[in-house]
Structure 1
Amino acid sequence: MNKEKWAIVTLSQDGVALAQRVAQQLDDKMCHIYTKEKYAKQNMQVFDTDITSFFRSIMDQYDIICGIMATGIVVRAIAPNLGHKSSDPGILVIDTKGDYVISLLSGHLGGANDAARLLAKRMDAQAVITTGTDVKGSMAVDVLAEKLNCVIADFTAAKDVTALILNNEAVALVNQENCELDGVVLPNNLELLETSRDLEEGKYAGVILTSMSRQKPEFAIPSVQLVPQKLVLGIGCRRDTPGEKIIAAVAATLAELQLNEKCIKAFATIALKQNEPGIEEACKQFKAKKVIIPDAMVQMVQSRFDGSDFVFKTTGLYAVSEPCGYIASSFGKCLLEKRKMNGITLSVWLPEK
């Protein structure tokens, strides 16, 4: 498992001393300390740009960025560099005495709230959490999505439904996809239903629906769709197939199946294709991971699928897409057998559990 990456940024001598303590307490994380040259100690990294430009350069490189400086400095530094809550890192601020750990940005999706609690506990400091649902001991839609391994289809809708939860309105959770709820403690005003047919008219102010469907059902009340990231796509392609072609093929395939593009969990392929630029681009576009299946494992199951002598000549295997998807989905259900499209072969798989 990859370690969570933290950047610790400071602008003073006292801050450097505290940064060293923070890094020591986070020995289970990958920590890099950044400061100005005149304050730098051994193994610290120096930056010579202004603080706003520096934050811009690291925003997409770390899971958590911790500023040991005044909150106002951090606010001004990150403001021009913010993208969206679904992609911004968690931002923390610590005073130079180390008394308070403030969750400043991306408290839920970026993990800043949990990071602040963790660091405060290890530093014997006070975590400062201001997100409304945390203050009330409730749950935001984005937190629920994370616990269910889902992504949010519409963040505006998520904000509206979160407001209902925060205001103690009755909200229904229609778990159409049977997402795992063990260990998830729902707020008292969030009621679990199996299907939308169980919705009683006038009883609920909002709906949260887990669904992989491309089209969300229309409800008479505010609603948000949580899309489970379950699908595995087995993929093979000719060498140097452009990323835009692969992306277009994937989009067309899921449209045909009436499945939301956000439900892609992984692309599975063989070692020969692990550095294929087009597959890399598709993984980035669909925010999916890449799974490499060893040739020996493909050979064990390839007899289940139609093979190709041409594929064998180029890869040493009789099939790529279907065996890879089958294995990467933990021998799941095939939603679409291999589909050939201009040098691209795709198959679509859904894990049984």
Structure 2
Amino acid sequence: MTLLLEEGKNAEIKANSTYAIVAITKHGVELARKLHSVLQTGDVYYMSKFEKGDEENAGIKMFDGSVRLLLPSLFQNYKGIILIISLGAVVRMIAPLLKDKKTDPGVVVIDDKGEHAISVLSGHLGGANELTREIAELIGAKPVITTASDVQKTIPVDLFGKRFGWVWESADKLTPVSASVVNEEHVAVVQESGEKGWWTYDRPLPDNIKTYLGIKHALEAKPSAALIVTHRNLQPQEEAILENGVLYRPKVIVLGIGCNRGTKSSEIESVIENTLTELNFSIKSVKAICTIDLKKDEEGLLEIVKKFGWEFHWYLPEELNTIPLQQPSETVFKFTGAYGVSEPAAMLYSGAKKLEIVKKKSGNVTISVAVIPFE
């Protein structure tokens, strides 16, 4: 199949992979085919005049017309775009397509001889830096990455904790805080929960980045910027730390839930929100809902985890009964074979020795809350 690219019309393409690999020269086509064979993922596009006859079987797509007309569709359909085209031409062609670094795809440029792989766009959030390194290793090219935090081997503020699933409370201060990091200003890091393995370089933290036991201590040190990692909502006296700070939400809250059959998702969601507000916890830090195997097909629970992207885990009664309970229930045992549902489910998943809320009954819902221990 050959795509006919025309002015004023977006190319109708179907993405079968995460990445698009595009070439417009003879040598570029050979490189694109090589990269396709070793990358194990990627849809290849090249001009039909370089047809070799095996494109259909290889899943390669050809096009007629200017590659510039292909790019709008690629931007809409792929996470990353690998262009074997000169850097200057790429910059001119993608400029009208740029919207926001949080949504633009990662763009990597490779020269015609495959000597350099260059991270051009969305190096962090779009994954272009990581993709550049991967491509360079696969084809024996030199990776070219100019992002300051990567060059200096310091904390990339917009990627901090991303591999663990941490999310920002707000992206408003990402740019100024990043500037403080790379300009070697005093940056405070306060972590109250979440994974500890966020520093991945084989050297100590840079001298300008200091860790503090709490927000109070960090405020007293008067840093230029701050990175705060916590599942709780800050107190009014603590919020000054965010004047030039980013608040990260680690996935550490585990909700144990039991409910009557047929309980609507809206009721379950309301109980969750009210409970987290009572605890002063952020819903963005919820990691999972846990329950008993009898509820593994409960529509209300399934709708909630799908809406928020949370994990959903259920346990057999004998697994739940391995956890000593403060409030074992003979009634629950009679109907389920377990002496409790929400409490032991939350403790089993989280590994916590105590619960933030042991058991709260609200309408058709029973909820327990645990926080994955931070040691």
Same fold (TM over 0.5): yes
Q: Supply the distance in 2 between the matched residues of 1:13 and 1:317 (Cα, whole angstroms).
A: 67
Q: In the alignment, does 2:226 pair up with 1:226?
A: no
- Which deviations, in whole Å up to 9, do the C-alpha atoms of 1:147-171 show, x marking residues without a partner? 7763222211232211112222212
Identity across the alignment (%): 28
Corresponding residue for 2:22?
Answer: 10
Q: Which runs of 5+ in 1 are unaligned?
A: none
Corresponding residue for 1:116?
Answer: 132
Q: Which runs of 5+ in 2 are unaligned?
A: 1-16, 64-68
Corresponding residue for 2:282?
Answer: 260
Contact kept? 1:105, 1:112, Cα under 8 Å: yes
Number of aligned residue pairs: give it.
337
Q: In the alignment, does 2:323 pair up with 1:307?
A: no
Corresponding residue for 1:33?
Answer: 43
Compared with structure 1, are the counterparts of its residues 155 and 322 closer, same or farther at alpha carbon in structure 2 (3 Å cutoff)?
same
Compared with structure 1, are the counterparts of its residues 161 and 55 closer, same or farther at alpha carbon in structure 2 (3 Å cutoff)?
closer
Compared with structure 1, are the counterparts of its residues 272 and 193 closer, same or farther at alpha carbon in structure 2 (3 Å cutoff)?
same
Contact kept? 2:351, 2:372, Cα under 8 Å: yes
Contact kept? 1:322, 1:337, Cα under 8 Å: yes
Structure 1 residue 105, shift from structure 2 partner: 4.1
Query: 1:99 is aligned with what amino acid?
Result: E
Contact kept? 2:332, 2:338, Cα under 8 Å: no
Structure 1 residue 236, shift from structure 2 partner: 3.2
Compared with structure 1, are the counterparts of its residues 234 and 154 closer, same or farther at alpha carbon in structure 2 (3 Å cutoff)?
same
Corresponding residue for 2:81?
Answer: 66
Q: Supply the distance in 1 between the matched residues of 2:32 and 2:353 (Cα, whole angstroms).
A: 47
After the TM superposition, which of the residue ranges 219-228 and 194-203 deviates more from structure 2?
A: 194-203
Structure 1 residue 110, shift from structure 2 partner: 4.2
Corresponding residue for 1:279?
Answer: 301
Q: Supply the distance in 2 between the matched residues of 1:10 and 1:288 (Cα, whole angstroms).
A: 36
| Residue aligned with 2:184, SS | coil
| Residue aligned with 1:204, SS | coil
Q: Which of the residues 257, 278, 302 maps onto 1:235?
A: 257
Which entry has the higher C-alpha Rg, 1 or 2?
2
Q: In the alignment, does 2:330 pair up with 1:330?
A: no
Q: In the alignment, does 2:340 pair up with 1:319?
A: yes
Q: Which of the residues 31, 52, 73 maps onto 2:72?
A: 52
Q: Supply the distance in 2 between the matched residues of 1:351 and 1:116 (Cα, whole angstroms).
A: 35
Q: Which of the residues 167, 171, 183 maps onto 2:183?
A: 167
- Which deviations, in whole Å up to 9, do the C-alpha atoms of 1:285-305 show, x marking residues without a partner? 444323343455234447665
Query: 2:368 is aligned with what amino acid?
Result: S
- Which deviations, in whole Å up to 9, do the C-alpha atoms of 1:83-103 show, x marking residues without a partner? x72x77645444554333333
Query: 2:155 is aligned with what amino acid?
Result: M
Contact kept? 2:107, 2:122, Cα under 8 Å: yes
Corresponding residue for 2:368?
Answer: 347
Q: Supply the distance in 2 between the matched residues of 1:246 and 1:303 (Cα, whole angstroms).
A: 23
Contact kept? 1:66, 1:94, Cα under 8 Å: no
Q: Supply the distance in 2 between the matched residues of 1:99 and 1:160 (Cα, whole angstroms).
A: 35
Structure 1 residue 334, shift from structure 2 partner: 0.9
TM-score, structure 1 as length reference: 0.76
Q: In the alignment, does 2:234 pair up with 1:215?
A: yes
Query: 1:306 is aligned with what amino acid?
Result: P
After the TM superposition, which of the residue ranges 103-112 and 250-259 deviates more from structure 2?
A: 103-112
Corresponding residue for 2:319?
Answer: 297
Query: 1:346 is aligned with what amino acid?
Result: I
Compared with structure 1, are the counterparts of its residues 34 and 333 closer, same or farther at alpha carbon in structure 2 (3 Å cutoff)?
farther
| Residue aligned with 1:337, SS | strand
Q: Supply the distance in 2 between the matched residues of 1:89 and 1:236 (Cα, whole angstroms).
A: 41
What's the C-alpha RMSD, in Å, of the aligned pairs? 3.8
Query: 2:39 is aligned with what amino acid?
Result: L
Compared with structure 1, are the counterparts of its residues 318 and 74 closer, same or farther at alpha carbon in structure 2 (3 Å cutoff)?
farther
Contact kept? 1:116, 1:128, Cα under 8 Å: yes
Query: 1:282 is aligned with what amino acid?
Result: I
Q: Supply the distance in 1 between the matched residues of 2:300 and 2:25 (Cα, whole angstroms).
A: 46
- Which deviations, in whole Å up to 9, do the C-alpha atoms of 1:50-98 show, x marking residues without a partner? 6534543x45xxxx52333543588369646x6x72x776454445543
Contact kept? 2:305, 2:312, Cα under 8 Å: yes
Compared with structure 1, are the counterparts of its residues 73 and 16 closer, same or farther at alpha carbon in structure 2 (3 Å cutoff)?
farther
Q: Supply the distance in 1 between the matched residues of 2:34 and 2:297 (Cα, whole angstroms).
A: 39
Q: Supply the distance in 1 between the matched residues of 2:192 and 2:217 (Cα, whole angstroms).
A: 11
| Residue aligned with 2:356, SS | strand
Q: Which of the residues 145, 157, 168 maps onto 1:129?
A: 145
Structure 1 residue 270, shift from structure 2 partner: 3.8
Structure 1 residue 120, shift from structure 2 partner: 1.0
Compared with structure 1, are the counterparts of its residues 35 and 320 closer, same or farther at alpha carbon in structure 2 (3 Å cutoff)?
farther
